[in-house]
Amino acid sequence: MQRYFLNDEDIKGSTVTISGDDFHHIARVMRMAPGERIITVKANGMAAVTEISEMTDDAVIGTVMEWKNEEKELPVRVVIASGLPKGDKLEYIVQKGTELGAAEFIPFIAARSVVKWDHKKMEKKLERLQKISKEAAEQSHRTVIPEVKEPMTADQLARHAANFDHKLIAFEEEAKRGETSVLASVLKNITAGQSILFVFGPEGGLTDKEIEKLSAAGFVACGLGPRILRTETAPLYALSAVSYHVELLR
């Protein structure tokens, strides 16, 4: 069944009202009709099997048939801070990272980022990324939509990291030196409810100054295996490793 995220005001008792882009998708793209069923998800993650009862010119009206007790989220909170990459790579990271269970994404204004976001266009870029996150969360049957935060500098990331249990920097120099224990140790000892903030550099990598700044804030540099990964591949490797350790192994 197709899945749609709704605001709390869209669900009153057992009646569901869907409008906007989701209405267009149901009515024009999926061409659904009364009697068909979808999954609707509230802001708190509660999901319901909902039957379409009526379709007006601008809204779909449905009736909640059954509330579902779903466990789709990673038991630990993983936040991905990605150095602003070229092209549409950040869109790819948000889409695939959402499918793999990331809780939040932070565009990272790194020293070696070739891309420089125009503040006048930043709102539209964030809206685009948030839409990608929503659609990927629906496709992968998540119960929450990961938030895409406003871009941060290394200084802002260092301050933002204060409330995280684990803070890791994916650093290719550690991979070159054959470092393999840091990530494995964190994932072996992490417990449900804890959080990890991963920082990944852009195509040119992180500078020594950025590493020093983040390390002073409690970050630990780690390798991601013996191979050097692209900036859009590394976050997906990390998320897959987290999922394997905290979901499949346990």
pLDDT at position 117 is 84
Specify the higher pLDDT residue, 101 or 8. Answer: 101
pLDDT at 153: 94
Query: pLDDT by residue (tens digit) across 104-145?
Result: 999 999 999 988 888 888 999 999 999 999 999 999 999 999
Query: How far, CA to CA in Å, does 113 sit from each of 104, 109, 175, 212?
Result: 20, 7, 21, 18
- Amino acid identity for residue 177 in this structure: R
C-alpha to C-alpha distance for 102 and 137, rounded to whole angstroms: 10
Query: Which homologous superfamily does the CATH classification assign to the domain defined by 77-248?
Result: SPOUT methyltransferase, trefoil knot domain (3.40.1280.10)
Q: What is the mean pLDDT of residues 157-178?
A: 84
pLDDT band at 177 (very low <50, low <70, confident <90, very high): low
Q: Which residue has the higher pLDDT, 245 or 249?
A: 245
Residue 231 pLDDT class (50, 70, 90 cuts): very high
174 pLDDT tier (thresholds 50, 70, 90) = low
User: pLDDT class for 8, splitting at 50, 70, 90?
Assistant: confident
3-68 shares its CATH topology with 77-248: no
Average pLDDT, the chain: 93
Phi, psi of 241 (to 5 degrees): -65, -45
**Taking residues 85-89, what's their average pLDDT?**
94
**Over pLDDT 70: what percentage of the chain?**
97
Q: What is the mean pLDDT of residues 202-217?
A: 93
Tell me the C-alpha distance between 7 and 26, whole Å. 17
Candidates 140, 51, 150; CA nearest to 97 is: 140
Say if domain 3-68 classifies as CATH 3.90.1150.10: no
Q: Provide the residue ranges of all domains of the chain, joining segments of one domain with +.
A: 3-68, 77-248
The Cα diameter of the chain in Å comes to: 62
Instruction: Please compute the mean of the pLDDT values over residues 65-82 and round it to a whole number.
Output: 94
Separation in Å, CA 148 to CA 32, 75, 220, 249: 31, 20, 24, 29
What pLDDT, on the 0 to 100 scale, is given for residue 178?
Answer: 57
Q: Which residue pairs from 119-128 have beta carbons closer than 8 angstroms and sit at least 24 positions apart in sequence?
A: 122/150, 122/151, 126/150, 128/91
CA 130 and chain centroid, separation: 9
Q: Which of 204, 222, 83 is CA-nearest to residue 153?
A: 83
Strands 77-83 and 60-68: unpaired
- Residue, of 174 and 112, whose pLDDT is higher: 112
Determine the pLDDT at residue 199. 97
Check residue 226 and give its pLDDT: 84
Sheet holding 166-170, edge to edge: 147-148, 104-108, 77-83, 195-200, 166-170, 220-222
- CA 112 vs CA 85, 136, 154, 177, 197: distances in Å: 10, 29, 12, 22, 20
Check if the beta carbon of residue 5 is closer than 8 Å to that of residue 141. no
45 pLDDT higher than 80: yes
CA dist 127 → 19, 96, 122, 136, 148 (Å): 18, 17, 9, 14, 9
